[in-house]
Structure formats: structure tokens, C-alpha cells
Amino acid sequence: MSLSQQQDRQHCFHPFSNYHQLNRDGARVIVKGEGIYVYDEQGNKILDAMAGLWCVNLGYSAKPLIEAAQKQFNTLPYYNLFFQTTHSPAAKLAAKLAEITPAKLNHVFFTGSGSECNDTVLRTVRHYWACLGQPQKQIVISRDNAYHGSTMAGASLGGMKPMHAQGGLPIPGIVHIPQPYHFGEGQGVDVEMFGQQRAQLLEQKILELGVENVAAFIAEPIQGAGGVIIPPDSYWPEIQRICDHYGILLIVDEVICGFGRTGEWFASQTYAITPDLMCLAKGITSGYLPLGAVMVSDRIAQVLQEHDDEFTHGFTYSGHPVACAVALATIEEMEKNHLVEKVRNDIAPYLAQKWLALAEHPLVGEARIKGMMAAIELVENKATLKRYNKTKAAGTLCRNICVSNGLIMRAVGDTMIIAPPLIISKAEVDELIQLAWQCLDQTY
Ligand code: PLP
């Protein structure tokens, strides 16, 4: 075991890692990143088809981001936005975000992460209704198998059962409805009808709880960590109709989907959603530094500002100047290289064509993709789409085979998922797909 592995084993308490596997094998030590590849201590070159944790959209060698950080470190390495203070990187980034996000989102509350964004929206929507004289309007409706982060509010808003099993979650006032997961839960039902039905469960839940008690609905446009669950086209229009009809605030968690992943700057544009609040993180800095941003609509910002002297909420690293400078450089780099257009018109269609062909593999029951996020479902029986009995068995095996073949794919149960850096070239897509076939063959 290397020194890093020994120190890690003795002292690192890992997020989302299997203790037994860690103790048996030691952690994989990543020493370098270059383009879309990472390198481990043994010198293995690994194609990172997950862009780290869905964040390194510009790959590991984006010089302008590094230079922007260096420049900002030399000027003002830290300051905050508390107590009537600001600085130019935060102000400039806020203006830029207001420009590129959907029209009514013109106010930004900076955080340090996606989880902090979701804590922030929970407080914001509850406080908003209290300001309007409806303090009982507190419940936020979310979805089973959603992921909204790991803080108490984030994990409660999320619908991950294994997370709720630890630490007394969810906190009160959060309820979940089923997800629009056609392959997993809608077999035999027409896809679009299924999308409608799943959206209408929101309406049923609002009526059951009483509209006077419901503050908001929160969702990822495409569920990421839940297994790249791409909703049927009928789903979002119906959700939007229901939120509009009942006057329920719509919170869109674009922590994964934002910044080009679906072929538009934001998935709200892909699905024609008009959110009241939007959570951003990850791709905002291409993962180079921690930063989150909650986009707040004019209406909500106005109500909050008119009601109180201050919003008693904030984080030491809300609007960290170096993170903001890197975010500005990220957006600038994406604009300069027309990256979103390239994703939409060129690389995502190319990846889709190759990825969807994986459905031919005897182990694959479904292949699906939207923009640059994709999944395949591993099945025991391709004809009946029966899954393996022991959940996780095939997915974990396939994931481990992938890593030893030089490919990072993620396993969510028996669903294999990817979200590669947006800068991936066609030749690298070919390599990714060739490795995926090889690993499926070895898993089969
Ligand atoms: N929201 C979504 C949709 C996410 O996928 C994640 C992380 O994967 C989060 C929130 C939490 O973000 P963070 O890990 O930065 O707290």
C-alpha cells in the first residue's frame, strides 16, 4: 500500500464509499488530470466518463480557469458579501448569471455547494410565504430517488432511501411523490401516458395536503444521481401547468443539468420550464473550485426585500472571489468556444448515435441519453427485461471492470451512467464506446 493509501486508510472518513472495499483494497489514488483523463498512482490512464462528479465540464486542463484563479488570488484571495459588502468578481458573476439564466431569474444568492443551495431554497420558499401572510404554507414536495445534496435539508429534499435511513431524515415538512422512471416503474404503460400520470401525482398530493399548506415543488430536470432518469416529454409541461394553476413555487435543481449538459445553457430551456428558483453548482466552475448559486425570481426577491431588513442566512464562502473569478472564466470560455452549440449540434448527437447502439448488447435492456448524460440498464433477460435478483451485483461488477479497463462509469444499482466532460472529442467518444462494449462483454 502506498503512503497516500496508508494515510487515507488511517485518517480519511470517506463520503459515499464502501468501508469493506476501502479496507480491503485501499483507495484509488488519483495524481493527475489531463483533458478528459485522470491518472492514478500506478500510472494508469483512465477516461473519466463521469467528469469527476458531473462537474469537470471543461476537462482537467482548462488553462484560462487556472489563470483566472491565479490572478484573483494575487488581487483579493478572500472576501465575503456579508454586512453590506461586495466585490467585483461576485457582482460581475451575478450580472452574468442573470443574463444567461431564464428571464425572470435576476437575483443570485451565492453558496459554496449544491447542498447549500438546497438549504437556501428551503428557507427561502418558507420565508417567502410567511412574508405574504401564509406561514402555514411550509411543505415542499419532492420526489422519490431525487438527489439534492447531503446536508440535512438537501438529503431530506432528496428522496434517497439509504440516506433517509441514517441520521433521522427527512426533516419535517417535506414529502415525496414517485419519479418519472419509465424503465424501472412504468413497464407496459405508454411512455407519454406514464409521464402524464407521474406528473399528475403532484396535483393529487397538493390536493391531499391542501394547497394552503404547500410552499413549493422541487425537482432535477433530469434526475442525475438517481440513474439519469430522463422524464417523458409529457412530464414537465404537466408539472408546469400544475404549479402555475395552484400557485406553487417551482424550484429547479440544475446542479447537474446546468451549464450546457443538456445542450442548452440550462435544462429549464431544454424542457421549457419557467422556475421561480434555480440551484446551480458543479459546472459553474467546471468543478475547479467550490461554488453554488441560487437564482431567485424578481417576485420572490422583491417580497423578501420589502418584508424584512435582512435575510438571516449566509455562508462564509458565499461568493468567494476566487471561485467567482473561475466561474466567470468558465462561462467566458464556454461562450468563446460556442461550447453549448457544439454540444447541441455536434458532440451530443454523435455520442447519442453510438451510445444508443449499446442497446444491442445482450446485457442491456435499455439505453437512453439526453445531451451529455446517458444510462444503460443491465438486465438478466433481454427479452423480458427482467433484472438481476441481487440488486447492485451486475452494476458493481461492471463498474469495477470498467475501472480496470481504464474507464470511469458509475453504477446506480444495475444502471450504468455517464456524464463526460463537454469538451470530449469524437475520437474520445469512440474510445469511450469501445471501452464500454469491451467492459459489457467482460461483465456478461
Ligand atoms: N443537487 C443535485 C442535483 C446534485 O446532483 C448534487 C450533487 O451531486 C447536489 C445537489 C449537491 O451538490 P454538492 O455535492 O455540491 O453539495
Domains, the chain, with CATH or none: 3-61+338-443 (3.90.1150.10), 65-336 (3.40.640.10)
Which one of 16, 282, 318, 410 would you pick to mutate in the ligand 1 pocket, going by the greatest count of ligand atoms within 8 A of its CB? 282
Residue nearest to atom 7 of ligand 1 (CA): 149
Residue nearest to atom 1 of ligand 1 (CA): 148
Q: Which three cell numbers stand for residue 87?
A: 466585490
**Centre of ligand 1 from the C-alpha of residue 114, in Å:** 4
| pLDDT tens over the chain, length 444 residues | 999 999 999 999 999 999 999 999 999 999 999 999 999 999 999 999 999 999 999 999 999 999 999 999 999 999 999 999 999 999 999 999 999 999 899 999 999 999 999 999 999 999 999 999 999 999 999 999 999 999 999 999 999 999 999 999 999 999 999 999 999 999 999 999 999 999 999 999 999 999 999 999 999 999 999 999 999 999 999 999 999 999 999 999 999 999 999 999 999 999 999 999 999 999 999 999 999 999 999 999 999 999 999 999 999 999 999 999 999 999 999 999 999 999 999 999 999 999 999 999 999 999 999 999 999 999 999 999 998 876 558 999 999 999 999 999 999 999 999 999 999 999 999 999 999 999 999 999
**Centre of ligand 1 from the C-alpha of residue 383, in Å:** 36
pLDDT of residue 96: 98
The ipTM, to two decimals, is 0.99
Residue with cell 451549464: 259
The H-or-E segment that residue 217 falls in is strand 214-219
Q: Which three cell numbers stand for residue 130?
A: 410567511
pLDDT of residue 389: 78
Residue 408: which residues within 8 A CB-CB, separation 6 or more? 38, 46, 47, 48, 49, 50, 402
Strand partners, 418: 374
**Centre of ligand 1 from the C-alpha of residue 281, in Å:** 7
Ligand 1 atom closest to Cα of 54?
Answer: 8
Distance of CA 341 to the CA centre of its chain: 20
pLDDT of residue 393: 80
Distance of CA 333 to the CA centre of its chain: 21
Q: What is the DSSP letter of 54?
A: H
User: By the 8 A CB rule, do 414 and 395 touch?
Assistant: yes
Distance CA 265, CA 267 (A): 7
Q: What is the pTM of this model?
A: 0.98
Question: In 10 A of CB 1, how many CB atoms?
Answer: 12
Residue with cell 421561480: 276
- 251: region left, alpha or beta (phi > 0 left; psi from -120 to 50 alpha): beta
**Centre of ligand 1 from the C-alpha of residue 360, in Å:** 32
**Centre of ligand 1 from the C-alpha of residue 264, in Å:** 19
Distance of CA 430 to the CA centre of its chain: 25
